């Protein structure tokens, strides 16, 4: 083989490897657009909890509908958004309307909703939703309150729930097989609102968000290793100017944050393989300037190189009152 042919082969192999190992790439971070879907949520909704099934469906759990009264203010609906048909349908009901909880999926069609609030109280319950049968069952109670908490599935059997408004430096390990749980070592700092990227290649969770009332920004970042149950404060290339209720989603290579941070007109793109992050301006979403868009739910769909955004709310940074709640669904090609 000639020298030129060898170089061409090497270049081709490099290109192939790059394509395989970087399935999502915000190559032109300066030109991202949120395009509206035809489907909409049944009602304008804040803080829906969203989970992608790895195929053609995104599930949306609960959320708040402040303009309604009584128990209806917190949704008990589980909705299924079908990507290929741009259609949404009601598939199941939670026993109670819930808001502010967190969801993990076992990759086998089961989803676990932890904690949250319901009208007049806080939930200790763990509800299991089977997406094949559309059945919902209460599987256990955990005596902690998970509000604005972060969670991730370590594997198909084990989930972790961390931090949040009423569990600020706590960590719980939960079995998605037998529904047992155990409390792990405390985190080295406290969060009143927490989100996380789970890096399954390195088996590390990157935890960030809003510190508690005694902590001023910039807020700390925490790296948690579930294997040795070890966590430490570590400066990550992630935002530390948290404002209110961000939404996150990631795969093995890229993580995205939508809403809740400055810059208000951008999403944040974090590369798990390099540890680099940057803001990417987005046109087409609510917010920008002095208007914060937050309280949304998002799902990264790697094979389509899209982020789907569900509902959310805007508010003025000069006013504590929420201005508008949305029933829209958007997608952003990244």
Q: What is the pLDDT of residues 51-71, one digit of tens each?
A: 999 999 999 999 999 888 888
317-324: average pLDDT: 84
With 0-12 / 13-18 / 19 or more C-beta atoms within 10 angstroms meaning exposed / middle / buried, residue 120 is exposed
What pLDDT band is residue 3 in, cutting at 50, 70 and 90?
A: very low
Tell me, what CATH number does 118's domain have? 2.120.10.80
Q: Residue 12 falls within a domain, yes or no?
A: no
Which region, left, alpha or beta, applies to residue 176 given φ > 0 means left and ψ of -120 to 50 means alpha?
A: alpha
* E strand or H helix that includes residue 274: none
Helix (H) or strand (E) holding 277: strand 276-283
In a domain, 68, yes or no: yes
The answer to whether position 174 is within a domain reads: yes
Q: Say whether pTM exceeds 0.85.
A: yes
254-269 average pLDDT score: 94
Residue 219 pLDDT: 87
| pLDDT, tens digit, 9 for 90 and up, residues 147-189 | 999 999 999 999 999 999 989 999 999 999 999 999 999 999 9
Q: Which residues contact 28 (CB under 8 A, 6 or more apart)?
A: none
Supply 231's token pair: 């966590």
If pLDDT is split at 50, 70 and 90, which confidence band does 242 have?
confident
Residue 300 confidence (pLDDT) = 98
Distance, CA of 270 to CA of 247 (rounded, Å) = 13
CB within 8 Å of 30: residues ≥ 6 apart: 280, 281
Could you tell me the strand order of the sheet in which 313-316 lies?
291-294, 313-316, 322-325
Distance, in Å, from the CA atom of 81 to the CA atom of 60, rounded to the nearest integer, reads 8
pLDDT of residue 213: 64
Mean pLDDT, residues 259-285 taken together: 94
Domain count, the chain: 1
Residue 325 domain-assigned (yes or no): yes
Which token pair is 131? 């997406």
Q: CA angle at residue 75 from 206 to 190, to 5 degrees? A: 30
Structure tokens at 69: 């009264």
Question: Looking at residue 184, what DSSP letter applies?
Answer: -
Mean pLDDT of 207-218: 81
9, two tokens:
């082969």
Q: In the prediction, which pLDDT does 69 show?
A: 82
Is residue 221 within 8 A of residue 208, CB to CB? The reply is yes
Q: Of 30, 53, 34, 131, which is closest to residue 326 (Cα–Cα)?
A: 34
Share of the chain above pLDDT 70, in %: 91
pLDDT, one tens digit per residue, over 276-297 is 999 999 999 999 999 999 999 9
pLDDT tens profile 66-96: 888 888 899 999 999 999 999 999 999 999 9
**Residue-number span of the structural domain to which 185 is assigned:** 27-333
Q: Is the pLDDT of residue 23 over 50?
A: no
Per-residue pLDDT for 133 more than 50? yes
pLDDT higher than threshold 80 for residue 216: no
Mean pLDDT over 32-39 rounds to: 98
315 within a domain of the structure (yes/no) = yes
**Domain assignment present for 162:** yes
What is the pLDDT of the chain when averaged over all its residues? 90
Taking the alpha carbons of 61, 118, 134, 162 in that order, is the dihedral positive or negative?
Answer: positive
Answer whether residue 134 is part of any domain. yes
pLDDT of residue 316: 93
**What pLDDT sits at residue 215?**
72
Q: Are 274 and 323 in contact (CB under 8 A)?
A: no
């Amino acid at each position: 083989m000639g020298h030129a042919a060898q170089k061409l082969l090497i270049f081709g192999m490099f290109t192939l490897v790059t394509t395989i190992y970087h399935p999502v790439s915000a190559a032109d971070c300066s030109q991202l657009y949120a395009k509206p879907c035809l489907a909409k949520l049944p009602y304008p909704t804040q803080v829906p909890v969203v989970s992608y099934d790895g195929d053609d469906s995104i599930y949306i759990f609960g959320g708040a509908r402040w303009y309604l009264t009584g128990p209806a203010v917190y949704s008990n609906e589980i909705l299924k958004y079908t990507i290929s048909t741009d259609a949404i349908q009601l598939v199941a009901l939670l026993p109670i309307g819930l808001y502010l909880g967190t969801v993990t999926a076992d990759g086998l069609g089961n989803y676990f909703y932890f904690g949250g609030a319901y009208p007049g109280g806080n939930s200790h319950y763990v509800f299991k939703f089977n997406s094949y049968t559309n059945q919902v069952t209460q599987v256990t109670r955990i005596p902690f309150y998970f509000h604005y908490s972060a969670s991730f599935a370590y594997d198909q059997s084990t989930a972790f729930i961390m931090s949040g408004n009423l569990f600020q430096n706590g960590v719980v390990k939960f079995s998605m097989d037998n529904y047992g749980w155990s409390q792990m070592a405390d985190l080295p700092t406290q969060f009143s609102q927490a989100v996380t990227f789970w890096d399954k290649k390195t088996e590390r969770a990157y935890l960030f968000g809003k510190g508690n009332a005694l902590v001023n920004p910039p807020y700390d970042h925490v790296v948690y290793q579930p294997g040795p149950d070890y966590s430490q404060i570590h400066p990550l290339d992630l935002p530390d100017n948290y404002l209110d209720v961000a939404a996150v989603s990631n795969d093995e290579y890229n993580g995205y944050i939508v809403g809740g941070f400055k810059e208000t007109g951008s999403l944040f793109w974090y590369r798990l393989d390099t540890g680099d992050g940057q803001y990417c301006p987005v046109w087409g979403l609510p917010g920008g300037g002095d208007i914060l868009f937050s309280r949304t739910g998002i799902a990264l769909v790697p094979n389509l190189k899209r982020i789907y955004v569900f509902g959310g709310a805007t508010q003025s940074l000069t006013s504590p009152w929420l201005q508008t709640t949305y029933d829209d669904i958007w997608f952003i090609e990244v």
